[in-house]
């Protein structure tokens, strides 16, 4: 590997059957594959063959969607990704979990355990979970206010980092002969007392291979950006135009600097959905076959739902009904910025509703095309200062990840943008992040 060339990071986002809402209907896998650990292990193994940085699982603690018309529910990510880690050697595993509906001691411990089990490949994607359905599974009538969820998230992350740091590096002596196991002076109560949590510690899991498992964040609201730029190692984001991607990238790097961080240690990873074919025609054919399950009406309804208008208000061949769409408020920015990103794309390219319905999947930028076109677009964003890497969302699994790994990855390698083999063994190493010191480490303790 040339040291001169900056390398991109790639995460594979396993969204059930794929990013296309009809992916479960193609017969590629059975309709219950999303409950089968082997389905995920297979996708992870293919991704690992492509030396991708990580696989990623989104999550929320409530049954979402219409169970009558879509596979609904999902296996819990920390548990599922442990089984995936057991079936792989190098690829990172990024588990989404809620800071609003967990206790920091429990979650810090599970992620640290996954880090031990995976040999340093674990990450936690912090989400606060908007929406009432999740709240109603945890004793609340509705979701806490955005500002309160983010205040809790900030304290949750702070407690989590303290717990992960509570065993210093080298605290374990492990001298069986003398019976000395650890240096108690290097295992710290954290004695956290805050507005949301009081946690004594130390964690009951010794420091894990990455020191601190990787932190991922995906909020696009002010609260989300503040949290992510301060604590996250990687930001997943929705950006649909290069200009927006560049602006977001600049803003987040600047925010990281303001927190006193090295901006290179905050990786910006926009999402990209892909529908790939050997030729453009083949890709379009693949896409239209998937779309045919939904029909034009179904595609229209997807747009209508995202924008929050009735489908009957949309004319497929006209632009979006801008007069019906107000400015995007902070709450709407919260859900990964999906709404704003779509509106920006439609406005920037003056798209009709029908055109827009073919440029977006699950709220993210979509490319329907050849491996060469996808590789070129990734390169463009990467070199133009809009991305350090990408969160890839293929239309349908496992074929979508197979084509990406077999056809796109070699083209990125040829361009000198992506590793030919893993250079390290931990997710931090894949992402080019330094090993973090424990906040409790100090010269006195270290020499004690």
The interface with its own copies within residues 259-318 (CB under 8 A) comprises: 293
Question: Binding to its own copies (CB under 8 A): which residues in 53-92?
Answer: 60-64, 66-76, 78-80, 82-83, 85-87
SS (H, E, C) the chain: CCCCCCCCEEEEECCCCCCCCCHHHCCCCCCCHHHCHHHHHHHHHHHHHCCCCEEEECCCCCCCCCCCCCCCCCCCHHHHHHHHHHCCCCCEEEEEEECCCCCHHHHHHHHHHHHHHHCCCEEEEEECCCCHHHHCCCCCCCCCCHHHHHHHHHHHHHHHHHHHHCECCCCEEEECCCCEEECHHHECCCCEECCCCEECCCCCCCCECCECCEEEECCCCHHHHHHHHHHCCEEEECCCCHHHHHHHHHHHHHHHHHCCCCHHHCEEEEEEEEEECCCHHHHHHHHHHHHHHHHHHHHHHHHHHHHCCCHHHCCCCCECCHHHCCCCCHHHHHCCCHHHHHHHHHHHCCCEHHHHHCCEECCEEEEEECHHHHHHHHHHHHHCCCCCEEEEEECCCCHHHHHHHHHHHHHHHHCCCCCCCCCCCCHHHHHCCCCCCCCCCCHHHHHC
> Is 335 annotated to bind ligand?
no
Segment interacting with its own copies (CB under 8 A) among 24-32, 299-307, 308-316, 333-341? 24-32
> Is 146 annotated to bind ligand?
yes
Tell me whether residue 167 or residue 382 sits nearer to its own copies (CB atom).
167
x/- string (CB under 8 A) for its own copies, residues 150-189?
-----------------x---xx-xxxx-xxxxxx--x--
Tell me whether residue 102 or residue 399 sits nearer to its own copies (CB atom).
102
Question: Binding to its own copies (CB under 8 A): which residues in 383-442?
Answer: none
Q: Minimum distance from CB of 53 to its own copies (Å)?
A: 21
Q: Can you tell me which of 39, 56, 101, 287 binds its own copies, judged by CB under 8 A?
A: 101
Tell me whether residue 179 or residue 326 sits nearer to its own copies (CB atom).
179
| 445 counts as binding its own copies under rule CB under 8 A | no
> Is 101 annotated to bind ligand?
no
Tell me whether residue 169 or residue 183 sits nearer to its own copies (CB atom).
183
Tell me whether residue 31 or residue 424 sits nearer to its own copies (CB atom).
31
> Is 221 annotated to bind ligand?
yes
Tell me whether residue 7 or residue 160 sits nearer to its own copies (CB atom).
160
Segment interacting with its own copies (CB under 8 A) among 30-38, 263-271, 337-345, 386-394? 30-38
| 117 counts as binding its own copies under rule CB under 8 A | yes
Question: Binding to its own copies (CB under 8 A): which residues in 188-227?
Answer: 197-206
> Is 40 annotated to bind ligand?
no
| 142 counts as binding its own copies under rule CB under 8 A | no
Q: Report the binding-site residues.
A: 59, 96, 146, 150, 220-221
Mark the binding-site residues for FMN, compressed into ranges. 59, 96, 146, 150, 220-221
């Amino acid at each position: 590997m040339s040291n001169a060339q900056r390398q991109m990071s790639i995460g594979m986002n396993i969204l059930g059957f794929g990013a296309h809402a009809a992916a479960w209907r193609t017969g590629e896998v059975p309709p219950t594959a999303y409950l089968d650990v082997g389905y995920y292990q297979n996708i992870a193994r293919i991704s690992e063959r492509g030396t991708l940085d990580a696989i990623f699982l989104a999550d929320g603690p409530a049954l979402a969607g219409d169970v009558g018309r879509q596979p609904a529910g999902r296996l819990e990510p920390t548990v599922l990704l442990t089984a995936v880690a057991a079936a792989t050697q190098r690829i990172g595993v990024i588990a989404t979990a809620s800071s609003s509906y967990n206790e920091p001691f429990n979650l810090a411990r599970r992620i640290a355990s996954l880090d031990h089990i995976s040999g340093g490949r674990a990450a936690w994607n912090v989400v606060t979970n908007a929406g009432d359905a999740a709240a109603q599974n945890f004793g609340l009538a509705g979701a806490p206010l955005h500002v309160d969820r983010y205040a809790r998230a900030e304290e949750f992350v702070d407690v989590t980092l303290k717990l992960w740091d509570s065993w210093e590096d080298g605290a374990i002596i492990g001298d069986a002969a003398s019976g000395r196991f650890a240096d108690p002076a290097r295992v710290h109560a954290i004695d956290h007392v805050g507005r949301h949590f009081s946690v004594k510690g130390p964690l009951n899991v010794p420091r894990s291979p990455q020191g601190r498992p990787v932190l991922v964040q995906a909020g696009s609201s002010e609260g989300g950006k503040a949290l992510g730029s301060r604590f996250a190692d990687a930001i997943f984001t929705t950006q649909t135009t290069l200009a927006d991607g560049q602006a977001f990238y600049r803003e987040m790097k600047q925010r990281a600097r303001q927190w006193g961080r090295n901006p290179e240690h905050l990786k910006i990873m926009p999402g990209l959905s892909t529908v790939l074919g050997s030729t453009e025609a083949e890709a379009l054919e693949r896409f239209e076959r998937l779309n045919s399950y939904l029909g034009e009406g179904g595609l229209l309804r997807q747009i209508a739902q995202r924008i929050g208008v009735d489908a009957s208000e949309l004319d497929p061949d006209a632009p979006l009904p801008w007069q019906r769409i107000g400015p995007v408020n902070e709450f709407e920015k919260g859900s990964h910025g999906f709404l704003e990103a779509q509106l920006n794309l439609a406005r920037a390219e003056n798209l009709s509703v029908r055109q827009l319905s073919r440029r977006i999947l699950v709220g993210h930028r979509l490319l329907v095309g050849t491996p060469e076109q996808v590789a070129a677009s990734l390169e463009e964003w990467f070199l133009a200062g809009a991305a350090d890497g990408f969160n890839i969302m293929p239309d349908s699994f496992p074929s979508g990840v197979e084509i990406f790994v077999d056809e796109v990855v070699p083209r990125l390698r040829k361009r000198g943008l992506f590793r030919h083999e893993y250079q390290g063994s931990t997710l931090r190493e894949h992402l080019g992040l330094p090993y973090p010191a424990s906040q409790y480490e100090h010269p006195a303790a270290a020499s004690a």
